[in-house]
Structure 1
Amino acid sequence: MTGLLFALTALLWGGGALATAMQAGVTPAPWSVALRMVLAGFILLGYGLIRGVPLAIPRQHRAAVALQGLLFFAVAFIAFYEATARMPSGLAALVLSTSSLFAAVIARAALGVPISSGLVWGALCGIIGLAIIFLPGVTVPGASPLAGFAWALVAAVATGAGTTVGARNQRAGLPIVAVLGWGAFVGAAASALWAVVTNTSFAVDVSFSYVASFLYLAVAASCITFMLFFELVRRLGPGRAAYTLAVVPLVALLLSALFEHLALGWPVLAGAAAILGGNVLVLSRA
């Protein structure tokens, strides 16, 4: 069962990278995330209400739930949207997969989860892989790969931190659906505030590609995948659960090559092998 959860999470999130790239254009990233999280929040809490899941968050846990929403559902998603607007979605997903390393480090510091030398070697492999791909510069017409890399790295750190906070909330016995539903609303509010503070104008794209990708992201890549992912966190711990994001690039790179004409040359393939190998070390020795 854990293997099936792992595979579904990786496949749905792998498709989400390309769908996120399809969101770029009329609607700015913060507003796209805010709209997506509002819909996801209503779906998640509605599902919990139908299933009779307790939706109230005890007062002593509200700050942690809000922090999870801020990191995982606002900062990470806005940063990833910005990344895919500047570089192929497959490469952005590849950088995001390093969140397993950040999750392991943050979990060690915050939760006392033990780590071993595997993390050190895994981190080294990840750094080497990123250097192989991005130091020479990725030549993509009309893109800004280095700026995209910076945004993707922010998404990876925020995802790792959000994963760790999610593990803390599950250790406290909070229902996953309630945490995700309220976290999504916090993410929506934070994203809207981000847009207002940065003076980002509101606009809605009504094209078929935007609406279709929006629904996929809000339902499949948010509601369904979030529940699958944090169930994996409960079963495996934050470091091992975040390893699903090491498999996501395999799906995302293939889709990016098919639909975004990403050239899978030796720098991309060698760098991807190093990054994914690093995540394997983190998983196998965590």
Structure 2
Amino acid sequence: MQRAPDPAALALFAACVVLAGGNAVGVRFSNRELDPLWGAFLRFGAASVILLAVMAFRRLRPPRGRALAGVVLFGVLNFGVTFALAYYALVRIHAGLGQTLLALVPLVTLLLAVAQRLERFHLLAGIGTLCAAAGVGVVSRPFQGSVPTLSLLAMLGAVLSFSQSIVLVRRLPKVHPVTMNAVGMSAAAVLLLAGSAAAGDTWKLPDRAATWWALAYVVVAGSVLTFVLYLMVIQRWGASRAAYLFVVVPVVTILLSAWLDDEPLTASLLLGTPLILLGVYLGALHERERG
């Protein structure tokens, strides 16, 4: 007998999708006034302060020894390297295209886990990889003349770094999620600030109201609230089912970007996005759901 859907879990999932869908759009607005690495530092610096306050309120113990080293490495990869590359890419790439490429994360995570002998390779993973690669080719082809190759490579590098951080978590001692993200974001903020200084960014607070709203959104809604809601969805549905977030968010981002940022809804984007999402489903989500 099939269980009835949980309305509360569906509502949490929908809220998480909408909030996460606005992240890339918020970054685009932030990048119009703030230098990319400086904007990323402000985001994760502020988010880390909020989460550290939550740690103190809940009296959560900070990690030590091997756990601390692992959490710091997780933060450097998951928030530092990933978002340094993503912020750089989103200067020239529209949010819809960027979020569509980020939808590759579950599939790339599976392939990295296979390469590191944490999971087995399946036929559907190979089919999904080919399908997703074809989708990337379709969505990126029209932008090759207008978007620098480095920007596309930076977004794909963000996918790789994000995916490796997920694989890394499986090797770490168990740490409370709030603690892991608070310490990880703090480590990433230090890295982003150092990168911002090396890049010669201008360190200033926003002058425009739109930038303040974008920054507030990516800190509170896009980082802290999305993280909390996603944990609640995982608790109700499990990690595999919750991972469908990655294949739904791009649709929301494309619509928001077309509305707020005048992103063109080209035929290649509309054709390539379903190919990528189908590849992720076949290669990663469907196989994990069966497992």
| Shared fold (TM-score, shorter chain, > 0.5) | yes
SS of the equivalent of 2:174 reads coil
Alpha-carbon displacement from aligned partner over 1:148-195 (angstroms, at most 9, x marks no partner): 3222111111111122223444xx321010110010100100101112
Shift of 1:210: 0.9
1:147 to 133, 145, 150: 150
Task: Tell me the residue number matched to 1:177.
Answer: 178
The answer on 1:132 being equivalent to 2:138 is: yes
CA contact (8 A) 2:99 2:250 kept: yes
User: Aligned residues: percent identity?
Assistant: 25
The structure-2 alpha-carbon separation of the partners of 1:168 and 1:223, relative to structure 1 and needing over 3 Å to count, comes to farther
Shift of 1:110: 4.1
The structure-2 alpha-carbon separation of the partners of 1:119 and 1:31, relative to structure 1 and needing over 3 Å to count, comes to same
In structure 1, distance between residues paired with 2:20 and 2:100:
12
The structure-2 alpha-carbon separation of the partners of 1:222 and 1:279, relative to structure 1 and needing over 3 Å to count, comes to same
The amino acid across from 1:126 in the alignment is: A
In structure 2, distance between residues paired with 1:158 and 1:29:
18
Task: Tell me the residue number matched to 1:262.
Answer: 263
Task: Tell me the residue number matched to 1:222.
Answer: 223
In structure 2, distance between residues paired with 1:10 and 1:120:
27
In structure 2, distance between residues paired with 1:65 and 1:174:
8
Shift of 1:26: 3.0
CA contact (8 A) 2:82 2:158 kept: yes
In structure 2, distance between residues paired with 1:233 and 1:220:
18
CA contact (8 A) 1:26 1:204 kept: no
The amino acid across from 2:260 in the alignment is: F
Task: Tell me the residue number matched to 1:75.
Answer: 81
Shift of 1:199: 3.1
Task: Tell me the residue number matched to 1:43.
Answer: 50
Structure 2 gap ranges (5+): 1-7
Shift of 1:113: 3.1
Shift of 1:21: 0.5
CA contact (8 A) 2:37 2:88 kept: no
The amino acid across from 2:134 in the alignment is: I
TM-score normalised by L of structure 1: 0.88
The structure-2 alpha-carbon separation of the partners of 1:240 and 1:191, relative to structure 1 and needing over 3 Å to count, comes to farther
Task: Tell me the residue number matched to 1:285.
Answer: 287
In structure 1, distance between residues paired with 2:215 and 2:259:
20
The amino acid across from 1:152 in the alignment is: M
Task: Tell me the residue number matched to 2:94.
Answer: 88
1:162 to 145, 161, 165: 165
The amino acid across from 2:40 in the alignment is: V
CA contact (8 A) 1:36 1:218 kept: yes
In structure 1, distance between residues paired with 2:232 and 2:162:
16
Shift of 1:8: 3.1
Task: Tell me the residue number matched to 1:13.
Answer: 20
In structure 1, distance between residues paired with 2:16 and 2:159:
17
Shift of 1:252: 0.5
The structure-2 alpha-carbon separation of the partners of 1:240 and 1:156, relative to structure 1 and needing over 3 Å to count, comes to farther
In structure 2, distance between residues paired with 1:2 and 1:107:
28
Structure 1 gap ranges (5+): none
The amino acid across from 2:36 in the alignment is: A
Task: Tell me the residue number matched to 2:5.
Answer: none
SS of the equivalent of 1:254 reads helix
Shift of 1:48: 2.3
Task: Tell me the residue number matched to 2:124.
Answer: 118
- RMSD (CA atoms): 2.3
The total of aligned residue pairs comes to 279
In structure 1, distance between residues paired with 2:15 and 2:203:
33
CA contact (8 A) 1:28 1:203 kept: no
CA contact (8 A) 2:142 2:268 kept: no
Task: Tell me the residue number matched to 1:34.
Answer: 41
Alpha-carbon displacement from aligned partner over 1:36-64 (angstroms, at most 9, x marks no partner): 11111111121122223x23102121111
In structure 2, distance between residues paired with 1:157 and 1:236:
23
In structure 2, distance between residues paired with 1:48 and 1:192:
23
